[in-house]
Chain A
Amino acid sequence: MSAWRQAGLTYINYSNIAARVLRRSLKADLRNEALKRDESHVRITPWANGRPAPRLNKQTNSSAL
């Protein structure tokens, strides 16, 4: 069993890290475009009584490392 598996990481975690490192290793002109894929945005709208709640919650998930 590989060390990362033993430490509780999944292949999805592994894949995310690998992709992130690869994006950082691109030529400068391509890198900036690629780094945008590092981030993912999740917009959450809670619903109550069949209507969207007034509070709109925007979350940004920027991966660490």
Chain B
Amino acid sequence: MVVLYSKMALAFRGTLRTLAKRLQVRTYAEAAKGDEMALTFAAGNKVFYDKVVVKQVDVPSFSGSFGILPKHVPTLAVLRPGIVTVIENDGKQNKIFVSSGTVTVNDDSSVQVLAEEAHPLENLDRGAAQEALSKAQSEFSSAGNEKAKAEAAVAVEVAEEIVKAASA
């Protein structure tokens, strides 16, 4: 009896599969297959990736930090200073600090990360970042007008982020 049931189940599953194929229905497993995400990641100082197929990209943006996988909904966002993590196809993680810029996710799953300045974490100097932070802080307290104060506040915010990244 049990054997009969499992045989029926198998036959049923087979029928379903042929039916799905005929109807061009995409099942979950199929949808995940064959999707590639080509990443272009460039800054004013360097091109890091040029249409390289990667697994995942995590970006810090003003609309929150988010991860991008293939088939992500098309998106535009402005970058905030922080670490962009690229997970390459072999699983290797590449962490790059970006100052600012834009990220674009297109309908064909291609991704463009364009930064004004970007450097791998190992190129950051914690001491220099701390120096930049205290300079920005003193500029903030001595700022004469609203605009200078806002500029210094941005510098403080960025320097704090760099110190955090360089300490990790």
Contacts and interface: CB of A to CB of B under 8 A. Distances in A.
A53 interface: no
B154 A4 contact: yes
A22 B151 contact: no
B149 A25 contact: no
A56 interface: no
B158 A21 contact: yes
Chain A contact residues: over half helix, strand or loop, or mixed?
A: helix
Nearest to B160: A21
Nearest to B135: A24
Chain B contact residues: over half helix, strand or loop, or mixed?
A: helix
Interface string B148-168: 011111110011001000100
B124 A25 contact: yes
Contact of B125 (A20, A27, A65): A27
A7 B146 contact: yes
A17 B135 CA distance: 13
Give the interface size bracket for B toward A. Answer: 20 to 34
Contacts of A14: 100, 154
A60 to B, nearest CB: 19
Interface stretch (B2-10, B13-21, B85-93, B115-123): B115-123
A18 B116 contact: yes
17 contacts: A7-B146, A11-B100, A13-B151, A14-B154, A17-B155, A18-B117, A18-B158, A19-B44, A21-B132, A21-B158, A21-B162, A24-B128, A25-B124, A27-B124, A34-B45, A37-B117, A65-B152
